[in-house]
C-alpha cells in the first residue's frame, strides 16, 4: 500500500514530522516497507534574493553577489554563473549543506580575496537534471526564505507500508490516517459529505440473480460527462503510487480505491446491452476479456456482473474490456457493491488475478460505506467531467454488521501484561472509531465500527476431528467468550505501543530444570556426536532429490513424489540420507576432494504417514585414508562403515553381544560386501557396506565408497537401571591362542560365537587376531586365529584344567563350523 505524505495529510491533521509518522506506523503494525523522499536531500535549500551583483575585483569570469537568504542579513557569495544578476530570485545553500550534484559539503571560503559565505545553486548541483548553464532563476513572486522543495512541491514523500491480511481497512489512506490519529499523531479529518442532486431515473437497473455472487449493490449513472485525461493533481497522485492514469472516470475510481479502500467500477452505459446488470454465477463456457487484455475462462464458482450478452465483469476482481469507459464515454454508470471475501479470494486465486480491488474485497471492505462512497465518486466525477447524476439503483439488502464487544480493563494486564488506565484504553478505542455503549469501573462495551471486520467477527473454528464432544464444546465456548475481548486488548496495546509493556522473565517451576530432551531425542544428539568424534562431518541435506537418483536407493512411491517440485531434481522424498550424502561426496570429489567422511542425522521416508518417516543416523566414507608415516593409506572398506554403525549402536546402549550380522543388505550396497545388523531375528538396527559399483557409477563416484544407516527408531529405549557390582576376580586370567582352518564360507562370527559358548563360566572373552587366506593353505580354506581369555574364579588353573578347557573350545568350534585346528 502506497500513499504520499500530502495525501495522508488530506485525511490527517498533523504537525508530526515524517520520521515520527514512520516510527509510529512501524509501532502500530503498519510496517514501513520504504520511503521515497525526493525532497529530503534538498531540504535545507532556501529561496534567496540576489540584492547586488558586481564584477569580482580579481577574476574576470566571477561575480560577487550580496544575497538575502530570508533572514535579512546579506551574505557575500562568489558566483561564476553567467545569469547571476541583481534582483533575481534563486536557491541558496548555506555552509554545512551537502550539495547532491557535486557530492561535497559546503564550507565558508574565500575566492580570490572575496569571502564566499554561501552558494547559489544550479539545477545540476541540486541533482535535479543536467542544466548547468546558470543558477536556478525563480519567478519574481517566489517567497523569500521559503524552503525550495516545499515551494516547488517536491516535499511529498511516497510512503509504502505492508498491510497485514487482517487489515482491509488499512488498505486506504483514510484508514491509515485513522490509526495514526488513534496513536496520537493528529486528528482524523472527517470525509466530505457531498449533496448529489439526482435529476433522472437510472438508465440501468441491478438484479441479484444469485446471492453468492453479491449481497448488496448500488449504482448510479452520470450523463453528459466529458471524459478525458485527469487533472494534473490526480495524475500526479496516481503516478506517485505507481498507478497508470487512464482517463478521468477510471482515475476517480482508483482515487477512492486507495483513498477510502472502496473499490468502484465504471461501465459505459452506451456499451451495456439491455437495461439490466445482473449479478449471477458464471455459466459453463462463458469467458471474459478483462481490462488487462487477457481472456479468462469462467467457472460456475465465479461471480460475475452480466448484461444481456454475457459477463461484463468478474465482480470485485476485474472489469471487462467491452463495457469499460474511454474518451468517448458520455454516460457512465458507477458500480459500488459488496462481495463475499472468501469467494473473491478463491476466484482471484483460481484465475491468478491480483488487483487492488481483489486485495480489498478479500480482506473485507466497509459494509456501511457504499452510499457515501457512491456520492463522493459522483461528486468528484462531476467536478472533473461535468454531467448530471441519476437516481441510485439498488439491489439486495445491506448486511447486518452491527456488533459489540466488551473489554474488562483487568485483561489489559491479565493478557497483555500492561497496566493501562481505563481512560487511556477507552480513548484509544474511541479514536479508532469504536463507540462506547456502556462503561463502568471494570469494563467497557463498545460498538465495533463497520470497517473493522477483524474485530469480534466470530466463527472460523475448525476443531480437531477426533476431539471429544464435551471438550470441543467447552473449547468453542471458551473461544467465543474471550476472542472479542482479545481483539480489543490487541487494539489498545498495538496503538499504545508494545514496547511499553514491561518484560517479565518466565517463572520456572524449580531452579534446576528437568531435561529438555526425551531419551529418544538425546540419543539422536549423541549419535551425531559419536560420528563427528569418529572424524565425520555432520551434514544437512535436502530431504528430497531426483526420483531417478532416489530409485537407486529403494522404493520411490508415487505418494512421496511432490506435485509441485521447485526443480526437476528435487521431486522425490528420499528413501535414505545415504543418497544425499553420496551426492555430496560426488560434488566434493568433483572439486578435488575425493576422500570424505560425511554423516547426517536425518529423515528417510517410506510413506507419507508420520510413522513412515524414519530417523536415521547415516554416513558415507569415500576414497582413501590419509597418508601418514606411521600408517599406510588404504581404500576405505565395508569394515569402516560397520565400525561406524557399531560405534553408534554401542553409544546408544545396544548390548553388543546381542547384535548379529546377516548378509541381506539393501540393493544399493555391494551384495558380497554389506550386511544388516540385527538385534534378534526381526529388529533391523542398521545396514552397512560398500556401495554397489553400479550405484557409485550412476552418481559419478570413481573411487571406493562405503556407507551405513542406523535406524534410531528401532533401537529399544535403554532401561535406566543401576549397574550390577563389577566382576573383579582374585585370580589372574590365562590367555590361549588357537588357529583354525575353516571353509572360506564360514563366518568369523560363527567361530567366535562357538568359542565363547564352549564354556561360558570360564571363557571370558574371545577375539579374532588374525585372518589368513593364501597359497599356503588348501584351496577354499581360511585360517582364523583367535585368542581366548580363561578367567578362573575359585583357584588358579592347573595345566590339566587349561588343556581341558582348550579341548572343549576346539571341539565346540569344530562342531559348529567344521573347523580343524591348524598344525
Partner 1 sequence: MSDDLDALRGETADALAAAADLRAWDAVRVGTIGKSGRLTGLLKGLGAVPAEQRKERGAALNRLKAELEAAIEARRVALEAAALEARLASERMDVSLPPRPHPPGGAGEGGIHPISRTIEELTAIFGAMGFRVAEGPDIESDWLNFSALNIPDHHPARQDHDTFYLPAGADGRRPVLRTHTSPVQARTMLGQEPPIRVIVPGRTWRADHDATHSPMFHQVEGLVIDRGITLGHLKGCLIDFLRAFFGIGDLPVRFRASYFPFTEPSMEVDIGWNRKTGELGKGGDWLEILGSGMVHPRVLANCGIDAREWQGFAFGMGIERITMLKHGMPDLRPFYESDLRWLRHYAADPLAPPSLTEGV
Residue pair 245/234 in contact (Cβ under 8 Å)? The answer is: yes
Q: What angle do CA 42, 48, 53 make, to 5 degrees?
A: 125
E strands within 417-564?
435-439, 443-447, 537-538, 544-545
Shorter beta-carbon distance to partner 1: residue 142 or 582: 582
Shorter beta-carbon distance to partner 1: residue 150 or 606: 606
Return d(Cα 490, Cα 497) in angstroms, integer: 10
Tell the smallest beta-carbon distance from residue 60 to partner 1 (Å): 46
Return d(Cα 381, Cα 222) in angstroms, integer: 8
Return d(Cα 405, Cα 432) in angstroms, integer: 14
For residue 2, the cross-strand partners are: 160
Cell numbers placing 533: 568424534
Tell the smallest beta-carbon distance from residue 698 to partner 1 (Å): 13
Q: Which of 248, 293, 45, 32 is nearest to 148 (CA)?
A: 45
Shorter beta-carbon distance to partner 1: residue 699 or 748: 748
Residue pair 230/248 in contact (Cβ under 8 Å)? The answer is: yes
Shorter beta-carbon distance to partner 1: residue 112 or 694: 694
Return d(Cα 306, Cα 346) in angstroms, integer: 20
Tell the smallest beta-carbon distance from residue 652 to partner 1 (Å): 15
**What is the pairing mode between strands 537-538 and 597-605?**
parallel
Tell the smallest beta-carbon distance from residue 27 to partner 1 (Å): 6
Return d(Cα 385, Cα 227) in angstroms, integer: 6
Shorter beta-carbon distance to partner 1: residue 516 or 730: 516
Tell the smallest beta-carbon distance from residue 625 to partner 1 (Å): 4
Tell the smallest beta-carbon distance from residue 725 to partner 1 (Å): 28
> Interhelix angle for 248-259 vs 356-363, to 10°?
40
Shorter beta-carbon distance to partner 1: residue 80 or 457: 457
Tell the smallest beta-carbon distance from residue 102 to partner 1 (Å): 24
Element (H, E) at 205: strand 205-208
Shorter beta-carbon distance to partner 1: residue 243 or 647: 647
Shorter beta-carbon distance to partner 1: residue 17 or 459: 459
Element (H, E) at 659: strand 659-662
Return d(Cα 87, Cα 67) in angstroms, integer: 10
Tell the smallest beta-carbon distance from residue 432 to partner 1 (Å): 13
Q: Any idea which residue has 463497520 for its cell?
A: 450
Tell the smallest beta-carbon distance from residue 591 to partner 1 (Å): 7
Residue pair 756/808 in contact (Cβ under 8 Å)? The answer is: no
Which string of DSSP letters, residue by residue, matches 663-713? S---TTEEEEEEEEEEETTTEEEEEEEEEPHHHHHHTT--S-EEEEEEEGG
Tell the smallest beta-carbon distance from residue 349 to partner 1 (Å): 7
Residue pair 381/222 in contact (Cβ under 8 Å)? The answer is: yes
Element (H, E) at 580: helix 577-590
Q: How many CA atoms lie within 13 A of 380 on its CB side?
A: 23
For residue 223, the cross-strand partners are: 331, 388
Which string of DSSP letters, residue by residue, matches 600-651? EEEEEESSSSGGGEEEEEEEEEESBPPPBTTB---B--HHHHHHHHHHHHHH
Cell numbers placing 406: 466488551
Shorter beta-carbon distance to partner 1: residue 85 or 528: 528
Cα 19 to chain centroid, rounded: 28
Shorter beta-carbon distance to partner 1: residue 18 or 475: 475
Tell the smallest beta-carbon distance from residue 536 to partner 1 (Å): 5
Tell the smallest beta-carbon distance from residue 411 to partner 1 (Å): 10
Tell the smallest beta-carbon distance from residue 280 to partner 1 (Å): 21
Shorter beta-carbon distance to partner 1: residue 506 or 800: 506
Shorter beta-carbon distance to partner 1: residue 525 or 811: 525
Shorter beta-carbon distance to partner 1: residue 20 or 236: 20
Find the largest Cα–Cα distance for the chain. Answer: 131
Amino acid at each position: 500500500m502506497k500513499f504520499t505524505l500530502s495525501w495522508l495529510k488530506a485525511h490527517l491533521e498533523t504537525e508530526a514530522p515524517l520520521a515520527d509518522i514512520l516510527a509510529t506506523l512501524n509501532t502500530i503494525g503498519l510496517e514501513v516497507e520504504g520511503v521515497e523522499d525526493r525532497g529530503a536531500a534538498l531540504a535545507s535549500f532556501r529561496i534567496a534574493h540576489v540584492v547586488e551583483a558586481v564584477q569580482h575585483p580579481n577574476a574576470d569570469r566571477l561575480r560577487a553577489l550580496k544575497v538575502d537568504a530570508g533572514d535579512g542579513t546579506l551574505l557575500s557569495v562568489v558566483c561564476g554563473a553567467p545569469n547571476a544578476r541583481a534582483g533575481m530570485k534563486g536557491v541558496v545553500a548555506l555552509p554545512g549543506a551537502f550539495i547532491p550534484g557535486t557530492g561535497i559539503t559546503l564550507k565558508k571560503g574565500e575566492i580570490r580575496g572575496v569571502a564566499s559565505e554561501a552558494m547559489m545553486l544550479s539545477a545540476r548541483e541540486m541533482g535535479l537534471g543536467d542544466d548547468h548553464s546558470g543558477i536556478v532563476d525563480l519567478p519574481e513572486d517566489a517567497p523569500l526564505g521559503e524552503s525550495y522543495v516545499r515551494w516547488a512541491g517536491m516535499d511529498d514523500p511516497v510512503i509504502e507500508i505492508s498491510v497485514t491480511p487482517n487489515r482491509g481497512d488499512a488498505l486506504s489512506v483514510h484508514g491509515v490516517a485513522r490509526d495514526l490519529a488513534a496513536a496520537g499523531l493528529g486528528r482524523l479529518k472527517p470525509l466530505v459529505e457531498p449533496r448529489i442532486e439526482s435529476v433522472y431515473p437510472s438508465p440501468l437497473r441491478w438484479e441479484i440473480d444469485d446471492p453468492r455472487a453479491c449481497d448488496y449493490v448500488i449504482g448510479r449513472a452520470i450523463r453528459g460527462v466529458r471524459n478525458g485525461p485527469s487533472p494534473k493533481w490526480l495524475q500526479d497522485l496516481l503516478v506517485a503510487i505507481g498507478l497508470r492514469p487512464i482517463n478521468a472516470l477510471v482515475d476517480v475510481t482508483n482515487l477512492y480505491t486507495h483513498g477510502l479502500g472502496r473499490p468502484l467500477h465504471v461501465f459505459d452505459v452506451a456499451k451495456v446491452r439491455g437495461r439490466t446488470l445482473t449479478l449471477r454465477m458464471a455459466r459453463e463456457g462463458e469467458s471474459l476479456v478483462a481490462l488487462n487484455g487477457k481472456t479468462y475462462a469462467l467457472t460456475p464458482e465465479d461471480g460475475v456482473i452480466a448484461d444481456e450478452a454475457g459477463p461484463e465483469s468478474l465482480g470485485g476482481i476485474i472489469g471487462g474490456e467491452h463495457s469499460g469507459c474511454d474518451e468517448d464515454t458520455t454516460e457512465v454508470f458507477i458500480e459500488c457493491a459488496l462481495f463475499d471475501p472468501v469467494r473473491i479470494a478463491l476466484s482471484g486465486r483460481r484465475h491468478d488475478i491480483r488487483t487492488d480491488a481483489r486485495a480489498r474485497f478479500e480482506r473485507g471492505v466497509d459494509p456501511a460505506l457504499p452510499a457515501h462512497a457512491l456520492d463522493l465518486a459522483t461528486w468528484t466525477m462531476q467536478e472533473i467531467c461535468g454531467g448530471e447524476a441519476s437516481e441510485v439503483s439498488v439491489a439486495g439488502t445491506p448486511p447486518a454488521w452491527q456488533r459489540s464487544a466488551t473489554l474488562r480493563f483487568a485483561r489489559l494486564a491479565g493478557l497483555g501484561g500492561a497496566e493501562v488506565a481505563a481512560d487511556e484504553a477507552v480513548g484509544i478505542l474511541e479514536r479508532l472509531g469504536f463507540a462506547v455503549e456502556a462503561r463502568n469501573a471494570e469494563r467497557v462495551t463498545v460498538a465495533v465500527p463497520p470497517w473493522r471486520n477483524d474485530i469480534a467477527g466470530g466463527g472460523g473454528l475448525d476443531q480437531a476431528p477426533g476431539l471429544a464432544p464435551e471438550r470441543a464444546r467447552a473449547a468453542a465456548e471458551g473461544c467465543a467468550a474471550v476472542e472479542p475481548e482479545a481483539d480489543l486488548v490487541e487494539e489498545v496495546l498495538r496503538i499504545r505501543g508494545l514496547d511499553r509493556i514491561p518484560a517479565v522473565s518466565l517463572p520456572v517451576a524449580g531452579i534446576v530444570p528437568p531435561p529438555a530432551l526425551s531419551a529418544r531425542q538425546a540419543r539422536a544428539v549423541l549419535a551425531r556426536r559419536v560420528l563427528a568424534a569418529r572424524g565425520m562431518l555432520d551434514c544437512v541435506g535436502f530431504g528430497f532429490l531426483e526420483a531417478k537418483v532416489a530409485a537407486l536407493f529403494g522404493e520411490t512411491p508415487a505418494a512421496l513424489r511432490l506435485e509441485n517440485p521447485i526443480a526437476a531434481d528435487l521431486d522425490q522424498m528420499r528413501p535414505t540420507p545415504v543418497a544425499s550424502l553420496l551426492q555430496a561426496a560426488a560434488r566434493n570429489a568433483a572439486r578435488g576432494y575425493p576422500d570424505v567422511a560425511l554423516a547426517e542425522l536425518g529423515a528417510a521416508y517410506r510413506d507419507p504417514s508420520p510413522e513412515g518417516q524414519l530417523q536415521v543416523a547415516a554416513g558415507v566414507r569415500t576414497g582413501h585414508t590419509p597418508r601418514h608415516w606411521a600408517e599406510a593409506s588404504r581404500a576405505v572398506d565395508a569394515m569402516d562403515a560397520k565400525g561406524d554403525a557399531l560405534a553408534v549402536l554401542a553409544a546408544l546402549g545396544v548390548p553388543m553381544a546381542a547384535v548379529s550380522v546377516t548378509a541381506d543388505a539393501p540393493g544399493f550396497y555391494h551384495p558380497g560386501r554389506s550386511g544388516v545388523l540385527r538385534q534378534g531375528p526381526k529388529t533391523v538396527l542398521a545396514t552397512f557396506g560398500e556401495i554397489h559399483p553400479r550405484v557409485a557409477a550412476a552418481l559419478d563416484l570413481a573411487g571406493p565408497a562405503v556407507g551405513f544407516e542406523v535406524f534410531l527408531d528401532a533401537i529399544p529405549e535403554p532401561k535406566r537401571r543401576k549397574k550390577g557390582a563389577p566382576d573383579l576376580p582374585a585370580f589372574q586370567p590365562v590367555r590361549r591362542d588357537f588357529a583354525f582352518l575353516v571353509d572360506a564360507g564360514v563366518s568369523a562370527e560363527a567361530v567366535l560365537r562357538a568359542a565363547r559358548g564352549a564354556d561360558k563360566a570360564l571363557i571370558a572373552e574371545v577375539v579374532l587376531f588374525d585372518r589368513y587366506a593364501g597359497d599356503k593353505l588348501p584351496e577354499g580354506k581360511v585360517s582364523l586365529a583367535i585368542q581366548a581369555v580363561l578367567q578362573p574364579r575359585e583357584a588358579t588353573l592347573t595345566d590339566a584344567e587349561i588343556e581341558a578347557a582348550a579341548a572343549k573350545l576346539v571341539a565346540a568350534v569344530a562342531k559348529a563350523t567344521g573347523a580343524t585346528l591348524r598344525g
